Structures are given as C-alpha cells and as structure tokens.
Amino acid sequence: MHSYSLIAPAKINLYLEIIGDRPDGYHELAMILQSIGLADRIDLRANGTDEIRIRCSDPNVPADETNLGYQAAALMAEQFPESFNRFGGVDISIQKHIPMGAGLAGGSTDAAAVLVGMDLLWNLGLTQIEIQELAAKIGSDVPFCVTGGTAIATGRGEFLAPITSLENLYVVLAKYNSISISTVWAYQTYRQQFHASYAKDSQDLTDRRQRVHSGSMVEAISHRNGKRMGELLHNDLEKVVFPAYPPVAQLKQEMAQLDTLGVMMSGSGSTVFALVESQEQAETIQNQLRSRISDEDLGIWIAPLIANGIQLARPTAH
C-alpha cells in the first residue's frame, strides 16, 4: 500500500490541574482528556523522493517544518533511516476541520496521525507503546491523540491511564476565530502568577497526582454520571486566560446561563465547551448561543464524545 487516509480527532480537557514544576521546564499536570468527533483528515502518500512535503486545506496552517505533522514525519525518517531510504519521503495532505490555537490539540492529533500512518506505510509493525514513545517527542498531547478515548494523563501529559469511555454525551464548542491563544504563553503566565501554589516536593507531587486518580471526576466518569461530571469540570488555565482575553471569559458566562451539564475552557483555550446530554440538546444550545451572540467571528461546533483516537479512513490501493 502506498497511501493511507486517517481520521484525527480533537480532544477536550474534562479536567486540567497544574500541580508543579518539572526540571525540564514543563509542568507536572493532572488531566482527564477526552476525544471528540471533530476531526481532521490526513492523507499520506509515499512520494519516492527524499523530501517530506506538506499541504493543508487551511492557508493559515504553516506548511513547513514548524507543522507538527511535518515534525512527526521527520522524526520517523530519523528513527528509521532504512525505511526512509527504501520508500522515500511522504506527501502529507491535511484537511483541516479542527480550529487552530483552540486548546483542542489540532496540531498534535495531525502529528499522531502521521506517526500511525507512516508505521503502516513503511510496514514497521510498531506497537502502540512504541508509537506513543515517539509521539511524546513531538508534544505532550500527541501520545493521547494516538489512542484517544477517555484517559487520565499525568507527567507532562504523556503518562496515560485509560478509564471508562464515554460515548453518549455531546459537546458544543465555541471559539472566536480571531482569538488563538499560545500554549507557551498560558503556561508561562501561570508559572509567574501561581508558582506559590506548586507542589513543594516529590511526596506532595505524588499526593496530588493520586488525588486525581481516585478523585470525584474519575468516579463520576466511571458511573457515566453526566450531571456530576458537568459540576466537576475544571481547568486551572482559565485563571490566566480569562483576565487576558475578556471575550473568552464572557463567552463562558453566556454559555453557563444555558441549560447544559457544565461549561469549561479546553486546554489553553480559546475554545469554551458545554457538556450536554444529547445531539438534540446540543443543537438547542447552538441555536440559543447564536441568538445571544450575533458575531460572525464566533465559530460553533457540535461533536459527540468518542472512544477512539487515530483511525484509518479508507486505504487507497494502487
């Protein structure tokens, strides 16, 4: 097979707690990550040259070495030079549906799809754990994007413990197209403002990690208790994003007035999502939000919670 098409779902954070600093400059996190049915499509084709070429349906997405999909392919070429010599480079085509700078791991999931696709393209037969180890070199959210579903993520975000998958709930996602938030900025600002609350030592770190594993949100998820989950949604990064981006804070306030299970910002923003019980309820919320905020800059999407990460769309034989 010389080409593969993959579906790369976005994620939301049902829970994001910053628990401390790390020697590598990143943060120790305790998160609960959830895949959703809003996805990019990635087409990969062995091009028989020594180049990695990338193009994207959205002109705002960089089609160069800064693209995480490109970085994933470059990493594969570096790790598996024999395969690179044998099959050559790849053409990566990204059909973008996940908004950028949104806290939905759009770039990370594209990179995850490139890793999964190149493993197939080059017949490497890597295990899921091997793919996730490569994924962690690209970015903190990339390992989760490979397998997806519902998972507790600790460390930088790369240590994953899958939990009960949630498939019957929906989210309404809302994002101002003109507001994209830098993840680097969000974490740096958090460090500047909240360093005093970070874990003091390794015992404190372990205790805080443990609290999430045994915590109320995990229990609510295991009982598939949407109402309780809605109450327990949490994201520390709201504390730095909302003061710096008032429209995002206002968007959450507006959404919180509607009849949902709960409302929260995803990742470092700028997406705010509402958790709801059905597609029908999601459509009602979408309509109500449209009539409350008549701003063309506001994008609104509906997506189900899903139990998978990267999947094959349809192989194209030659």
Is the CB of residue 268 less than 8 Å from the CB of residue 237?
A: yes
- From 233, 146, 237, 236, select the one nearest 184 (Cα to Cα): 237
Q: Write the single-letter amino acid at 160.
A: L
139 binds ligand C5P (CB under 6 A): yes
Q: Which of 2, 26, 95, 224 binds ligand C5P (CB under 6 A)?
A: 26
Task: Respond yes or no on whether the N-terminal peptide bond of residue 270 is cis (omega within 30° of 0).
Answer: yes
Q: Which stretch binds ligand C5P (CB under 6 A): 25-33, 44-52, 146-154, 282-290?
A: 25-33
Whose tokens are 């903190």? That residue is 140
Q: Which residues between 164 and 223 bind ligand C5P (CB under 6 A)?
A: 183-184, 187
Contact 65, 27 (CB under 8 A): no
Min separation Cβ 302 and ligand C5P, Å: 26
Question: In terms of Cα–Cα distance, which of 61, 16, 11 is closest to 166?
Answer: 11
3-class DSSP state of 104: coil
273 DSSP β-pair partners: 173, 264
Please report how close the Cβ of residue 29 comes to ligand C5P at its closest, in angstroms: 5
> Stretches 8-16, 134-142, 233-241, 258-266: which one binds ligand C5P (CB under 6 A)?
134-142
Which of 2, 156, 224, 228 is close enough to bind ligand C5P by CB under 6 A? 156
* Nearest approach, Cβ of residue 112 and ligand C5P (Å): 12
Select which of 43, 110, 119, 141 is catalytic: 141
Distance CA 168, CA 18 (A): 28
β partners of residue 172 = 274, 302
Indicate which residue of 11, 40, 43, 91 is catalytic: 11
**Burial zone of 297 (CB within 10 Å; 0-12 exposed, 13-18 middle, 19+ buried):** exposed
Q: Residue 70 and residue 49: Cα distance in Å, rounded?
A: 15
The answer to whether residues 19 and 190 touch, using CB atoms and an 8 Å cutoff, is: no
| Min CB(186)–ligand C5P separation in Å | 7
- Contact pick of 141, 145, 229, 248 for ligand C5P (by CB under 6 A): 141
* Per-residue contact string for residues 281-300; x = within reach of ligand C5P by CB under 6 A: --------------------
Residue span binding ligand C5P (CB under 6 A) among the ranges 24-32, 90-98, 144-152, 195-203: 24-32
Specify the residue, 41 or 156, whose C-beta has the smaller distance to ligand C5P: 156
Cβ closest to ligand C5P, residue 141 vs residue 236: 141
Where on the chain is the footprint of ligand C5P (CB under 6 A)?
26-27, 29, 139-141, 156-157, 183-184, 187
